């Protein structure tokens, strides 16, 4: 079987390659280049490539660098800037997986191979004659929520060699095999930013626009900000107000007003329902195609769901509306609910990730 392995320079993808080689495969290694070097916005590519080259030498494999900078900036970065401009909270990592790692790469290279292997914590479950995106035993490291915009064809073409492992086991294998990335820290944040501050990046594209910071209870102007796009609900740092602590509790996008409160209570921002639009079902739409994996028998269907910043899967009931949007009632109040983010839907047993929709409001 011909396998294209995406190697990032991190420990997860390195162990994935190691396991493939132990199983007798000879994958071709590929490093995806997305950072814009000439603009100063890039990943730590030099160190990444050193590890990719070391892995290729160690296992006698070929490696190549696939330049997807334009694809990334025309799609993922443009999506991010558009969402921020409109006051939403985007998730560029989700779109990067769909459009770049499993999209543009496949169009340029991956389609020449039987499978594309990555170091994601996910599994592929073959059931009912279809390929489904399955979860992993390590709920903290499970990455199916970042893969929830993939298509069924993309899942069927994928391999996740470390998918059934916990992070500790992956580290142990890397150390025992003396892999060059064994002690490298996990990457954090948005890759294309490199060492650039997020606000500096946003300012480059959206500029600044002064607006008032208003105490929500009294309507008193406490200070000024440089643009609502620099602030998020629940934010405490970066307001530069005296007499605090102050928290961002509301944003008026049209008037460029940030509302704050000293008496902010996290519970006040917790929600028990939300609406999703542009619902994306990975393998199939269970409301239109019957399946034993996720049978839809009533208007309200029990599901598990996940929202960014919430570590565990939570239970709720999903209802399809006439306009093809989906209403989710949560069994317990949940924080971190923000328009523009994705709500990821799972089977009631948490075994299969069914898809995701963009939160329209809460």
pLDDT tens digits along 81-118: 998 888 887 888 898 999 999 999 999 999 999 999 99
CB burial of 157-182 (b: ≥16 within 10 Å; e: otherwise) equals bbbbbbbebbbeebbebbeeeebbbb
What is the set of active-site residues? 96, 191
CATH number, domain containing residue 218: 2.30.30.280
Q: Is the pLDDT of residue 31 over 70?
A: yes
What share of the chain in percent tops pLDDT 70? 92
Q: What DSSP state is assigned to residue 27?
A: P
Question: How many other C-beta atoms lie within 10 A of the C-beta of residue 141?
Answer: 17
CATH number, domain containing residue 274: 2.40.30.10
Residue 294 lies in a domain: yes
Number of domains the chain contains:
3
Which residues share a beta bridge with 101? none
Which pair of tokens denotes residue 200? 């500096």
**What is residue 41's predicted lDDT score, i.e. its pLDDT?**
47
**Strands 3-6, 28-33: pairing kind:** parallel
CB burial of 238-251 (b: ≥16 within 10 Å; e: otherwise) equals ebeeeeeebbbbeb
Domain, as residue range, for 225: 208-265
Task: Indicate whether 228 and 310 sit together in one domain.
Answer: no
Question: How many other C-beta atoms lie within 10 A of the C-beta of residue 320?
Answer: 18
Task: Indicate whether 260 and 278 sit together in one domain.
Answer: no
Task: Indicate whether 65 and 14 sit together in one domain.
Answer: yes
Q: Tens digit of pLDDT for each residue in 245-274?
A: 898 888 999 999 999 998 766 565 678 999
Residue 90 lies in a domain: yes
Alpha carbons within 13 A on the beta-carbon side of 117: 25
Q: Is the pLDDT of residue 72 over 50?
A: yes
Which residues share a beta bridge with 339? none
Contacts of 204 (CB under 8 A, 6+ apart): none
Task: Indicate whether 271 and 212 sit together in one domain.
Answer: no
Give residue 156's region: left, alpha or beta (phi > 0; psi -120 to 50): alpha
**What is residue 193's predicted lDDT score, i.e. its pLDDT?**
52
Task: Indicate whether 73 and 220 sit together in one domain.
Answer: no
Measured CA to CA, the distance from residue 199 to residue 193 in angstroms comes to: 10
Task: Indicate whether 74 and 106 sit together in one domain.
Answer: yes
Task: Indicate whether 70 and 187 sit together in one domain.
Answer: yes
User: ω before 343 within 30° of 0 (cis)?
Assistant: no
Of residues 176 and 194, the one with the higher pLDDT is 176
Question: How many other C-beta atoms lie within 10 A of the C-beta of residue 112?
Answer: 10
Which residues share a beta bridge with 225? 211
Q: Is the pLDDT of residue 159 over 90?
A: yes
Task: Indicate whether 67 and 177 sit together in one domain.
Answer: yes
Report yes or no: 88 and 340 within 8 Å, Cβ to Cβ. Answer: yes
**Over the chain, what is the mean pLDDT?**
89
Residue 201 lies in a domain: no
Residue 274 lies in a domain: yes
Does residue 253 sit in helix, strand or coil? Answer: coil
List, in sequence order, every beta strand (DSSP E) within the chain: 3-6, 28-33, 63-67, 115-117, 123-127, 130-134, 158-159, 211-215, 221-225, 247-252, 257-261, 271-281, 300-307, 314-320, 326-334, 342-346, 352-361
Task: Indicate whether 239 and 115 sit together in one domain.
Answer: no
Confidence grade of residue 163 (pLDDT, cut at 50, 70, 90): very high
Of residues 185 and 106, the one with the higher pLDDT is 106
Segment 209-226 mean pLDDT: 95
Task: Indicate whether 103 and 222 sit together in one domain.
Answer: no
Task: Indicate whether 310 and 331 sit together in one domain.
Answer: yes
Task: Indicate whether 79 and 109 sit together in one domain.
Answer: yes
Helix locations, the chain, DSSP H = 11-22, 45-59, 69-72, 78-85, 92-96, 105-108, 152-156, 167-176, 198-206
Which pair of tokens denotes residue 85? 């401009």
Q: Is the pLDDT of residue 127 over 50?
A: yes
Residue 152 lies in a domain: no
Max Cα distance, the chain (Å): 69
* Domain boundary residue, one of 247, 265, 283: 265
Alpha carbons within 13 A on the beta-carbon side of 87: 13
Residue 238 lies in a domain: yes
């Amino acid at each position: 079987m011909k396998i294209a392995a995406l190697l990032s320079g991190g420990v997860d993808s390195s162990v994935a390659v190691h396991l493939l080689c132990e199983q007798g495969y000879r994958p071709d290694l590929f490093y995806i280049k997305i950072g814009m070097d000439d603009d100063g916005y890039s990943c730590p590519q030099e160190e990444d490539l050193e590890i990719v080259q070391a892995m290729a030498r160690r296992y006698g494999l070929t490696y190549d660098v696939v330049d997807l900078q334009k694809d990334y900036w025309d799609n993922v970065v443009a999506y991010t800037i558009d969402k921020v401009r409109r006051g939403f909270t985007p998730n560029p990592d989700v779109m990067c997986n769909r459009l770049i790692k499993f999209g543009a790469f496949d169009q340029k290279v991956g389609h020449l191979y039987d499978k594309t292997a990555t170091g994601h914590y996910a599994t592929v479950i073959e059931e009912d004659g279809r390929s489904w995106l399955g979860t992993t035993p390590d709920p903290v490291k499970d990455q199916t929520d970042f893969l929830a915009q993939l298509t069924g064809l993309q899942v069927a073409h994928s391999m996740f060699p470390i998918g059934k492992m916990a992070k500790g086991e992956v580290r142990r294998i890397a150390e025992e095999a003396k892999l060059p990335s064994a002690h490298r820290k996990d990457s954090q944040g948005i890759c294309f930013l490199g060492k650039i501050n997020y606000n500096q990046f946003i300012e480059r594209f959206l500029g600044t626009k002064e607006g008032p910071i208003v105490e929500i209870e009294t309507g008193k102007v406490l200070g000024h900000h440089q643009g609502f796009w620099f602030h998020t609900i629940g934010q405490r740092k970066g307001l530069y107000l005296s007499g605090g602590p102050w928290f961002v509790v509301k944003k008026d996008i049209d008037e460029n007003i940030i509302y704050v409160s000293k008496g902010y209570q996290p519970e006040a921002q917790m929600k028990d329902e939300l609406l999703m639009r542009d619902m994306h079902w990975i393998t199939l739409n269970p409301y239109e195609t019957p399946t034993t994996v996720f049978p839809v028998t009533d208007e309200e269907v029990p599901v598990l769901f996940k929202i960014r910043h919430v570590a565990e899967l939570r239970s709720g009931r999903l209802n399809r509306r006439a306009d093809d949007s989906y209403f989710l009632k949560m069994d317990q109040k949940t924080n971190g609910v923000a328009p523009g983010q994705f709500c990821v839907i799972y089977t009631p047993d948490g075994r299969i990730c069914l898809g995701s929709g963009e939160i329209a409001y809460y």
